[in-house]
Structure 1
């Protein structure tokens, strides 16, 4: 065991972003802080530019996955025996639709999170979702909170100083930062 490990700035920023997600969820009565916290963790990257890039893919994937999840929830109301067994072949078909939409929209980098959001919506039968649209909108809002907070924390708390005037070069993590995260 290495007890000399010190958390790097990225780890500290991730903790701060999660703390802010929990605070915002509490202040605004959001029921599922989990989604904003996960978005903040996934989006936090070594640089603000990379955080924005990952955040955009996360947001687009969330929108597409939410849309397909909404379609499934609405379709499930019309499918006999859906909650008994019919969901077994139907969920994978809708999952393929979600992946297909990401691909035809040129958003292949958003496909994984799209599938995760879709599966979260599609496989949670015990939530008693009464309004599919409001439920999906809540997931998009919660995810957006996490993305926005990750970007803001990365930009304004211990901001990374550029070592080069070339912005592409400035977004590359140093070997030290990669070890810290």
Structure 2
């Protein structure tokens, strides 16, 4: 649909559908949908092939960001929530994520990894356990998987 300079395309509708599915499912499971919804938006691309290709990168980058967030959590908890861990150690983890992904030629996954790392690390509530961090890592994977599913089943079939 076109409204002057503005249009609503299939990718826009698929993105909204993926976010709706996540918010609805997470509501019933009493989970915060933010990280999964954002991971889904990052992963959804204009075609099935591009989504599948990018999903591989997102899964690797989510793994890197999530594992570094877990390390952050453990160090932060071990130091009794010392402020320097957020100010100094977290930026060092950002460097590690960039260098690692660049070294393995996953440059297009850097932003996703940093988004996962920072979203999880900077939103850990007081008194959270390792399980909270693991749940948020799982949420990023759920978001990517929902995007793959929506793009697979909500895309028009190619003409032969």
Q: TM class, shorter-chain normalised? A: 0.7 to 0.9
CA positional deviation for 1:20: 0.8
Matched, 1:136 2:137: no
The structure with more radius of gyration: 1
**What's the RMSD between the two structures over aligned residues?**
2.3
Q: Where in structure 1 do 4 or more consecutive aligned residues deviate above 6 Å?
A: none
Unaligned runs of 5+ residues in structure 1 are 164-181
Secondary structure in structure 1 of the residue aligned to 2:158: coil
Unaligned runs of 5+ residues in structure 2 are none
User: 2: CA distance between counterparts of 1:37 and 1:26?
Assistant: 12
Matches within 5 A, 1:106-121: 106-121=105-120
Q: Which moved more, 1:138-147 or 1:105-114?
A: 105-114
CA positional deviation for 1:34: 1.2
CA positional deviation for 1:74: 1.0
Paired position in structure 2 for 1:17:
18
Secondary structure in structure 2 of the residue aligned to 1:77: helix
User: 2: CA distance between counterparts of 1:144 and 1:25?
Assistant: 14
Q: Is the 8 A contact 1:69 1:136 kept in 2?
A: yes
> Per the alignment, do residues 29 and 111 of structure 1 end up closer, same or farther by CA in structure 2, a change over 3 Å counting?
same
User: 1: CA distance between counterparts of 2:55 and 2:121?
Assistant: 23
